[in-house]
């Protein structure tokens, strides 16, 4: 037995109009089609829905309660249908974006919001692995991450080439330097990101290129955690150079003796055909990110 939306609609309409013929006209169906749906409900569930009096169909007390519940179901069904219809459109759609870094992704999101104000935006932040999983399982529509591998399952657009830099407290001796090398870093307490971070992947490559494998003094899950630890004098941390606009309370220092560069990429699965995704990637094509 299946309780269909069309049967609930027929039930409500017959109760409202008082006859199969009037309900059929209102629904644009034949009278037999409507009466068959009502009789099938009564037969399948063993209930009495209508009594006939003076040529009219009068709803039974059970039918009145059922119609009240059916109305709520129909309202939710209509809301859900509109959600599916508008999701991904530029009229009243929704776009979810996963960010590894605040910048340059937030610049692109702000430009998209200005161009398409009717689209509701939802932004998720997290590690490289978290955002990559979210894109793959469609928890988010678009990801913006550094170091995204070339993969035929994705369409992608490079926003800019980023690089990992060291950050030091403003009162640290490194605060007067524009760049430092691996040997200088190895004499400091180092603050790393946890496994799965794109920042840490780039930093690990940098140390391996110098033949080093340092043990961190502290390992943290989030970029904000690294900032707070550095500001409080716990050691030297590492971030993407353009990963955030926050820089008043730390000094950024370039790393010499190896490359920490990586492309910041906006990407989405090729099988996701949504106007909102197309518009975001097209907008990225037209923008310059510093």
Query: What are the pLDDT digits (tens) for 104-125?
Result: 888 899 999 999 998 989 999 8
Task: Name the pLDDT band for 87 (thresholds 50, 70, 90).
Answer: low
Averaged pLDDT for residues 89-96: 81
The count of C-alpha atoms lying within 13 angstroms of the C-alpha of 102, restricted to the half-sphere facing its C-beta, is 10
Encode pLDDT of 9-19 as tens digits: 899 999 999 99
Domains of the chain: 5-86 (1.10.10.10), 94-159+264-286 (3.40.190.10), 160-262 (3.40.190.290)
Give residues with Cβ within 8 angstroms of 46, minimum separation 6.
Answer: none
Residue 26 CB: number of other CB atoms within 10 A? 14
Residue of 9, 13, 12, 8 lying closest to 23 (CA atoms)? 13
What value does the mean pLDDT take over residues 181-206? Answer: 90
Q: Answer yes or no: is pLDDT of 241 > 70.
A: yes
Residue 218 · residue 192 · CB < 8 Å: yes
**Mean pLDDT throughout 93-101?**
88
Using pLDDT thresholds of 50, 70 and 90, give the confidence band for residue 82. low
Instruction: Give the pTM.
Output: 0.60
Q: Are strands 142-146 and 120-125 parallel, antiparallel or unpaired?
A: unpaired
Q: What angle do CA 37, 41, 44 make, to 5 degrees?
A: 125
Q: Is the pLDDT of residue 169 over 70?
A: yes
Per-residue pLDDT, 168:
94
């Amino acid at each position: 037995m299946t309780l269909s939306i069309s049967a609930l609609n027929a039930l409500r309409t017959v109760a409202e109009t008082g006859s199969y013929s009037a309900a059929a006209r209102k629904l644009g169906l034949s009278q037999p089609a409507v009466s068959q749906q009502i009789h099938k409900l009564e037969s399948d569930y063993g209930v009495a829905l209508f009594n006939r009096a003076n040529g009219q169909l009068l709803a039974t007390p059970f039918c009145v309660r059922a119609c009240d519940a059916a109305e709520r179901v129909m309202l939710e069904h209509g809301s859900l249908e509109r959600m599916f219809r508008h999701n991904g459109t530029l009229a009243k759609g929704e776009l979810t974006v996963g960010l590894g870094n605040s910048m340059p992704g937030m610049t692109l999101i702000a430009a998209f919001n200005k161009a398409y104000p009717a689209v509701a935006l939802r932004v998720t932040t997290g590690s490289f692995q978290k955002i990559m999983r979210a894109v793959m399982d469609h928890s988010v529509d678009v990801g913006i991450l550094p170091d995204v591998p070339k993969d035929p399952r994705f369409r992608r657009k490079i926003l800019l080439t980023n690089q990992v830099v060291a950050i030091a407290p403003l009162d640290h001796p490194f605060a007067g330097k524009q760049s430092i090398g691996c040997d200088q870093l190895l004499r400091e307490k180092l603050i790393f990101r946890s496994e799965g971070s794109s920042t840490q992947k780039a930093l690990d490559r940098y140390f391996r290129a110098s033949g080093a494998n340092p043990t961190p003094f502290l390992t943290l899950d989030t970029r904000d955690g690294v900032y707070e630890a550095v500001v409080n004098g716990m050691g030297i941390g590492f971030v993407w150079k353009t990963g955030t606009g926050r820089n008043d309370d730390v000094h950024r220092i370039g790393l010499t003796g190896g490359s920490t560069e990586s492309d910041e990429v906006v990407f989405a699965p090729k099988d996701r055909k949504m106007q909102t995704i197309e518009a975001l990637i097209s907008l990225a094509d037209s923008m310059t990110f510093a």
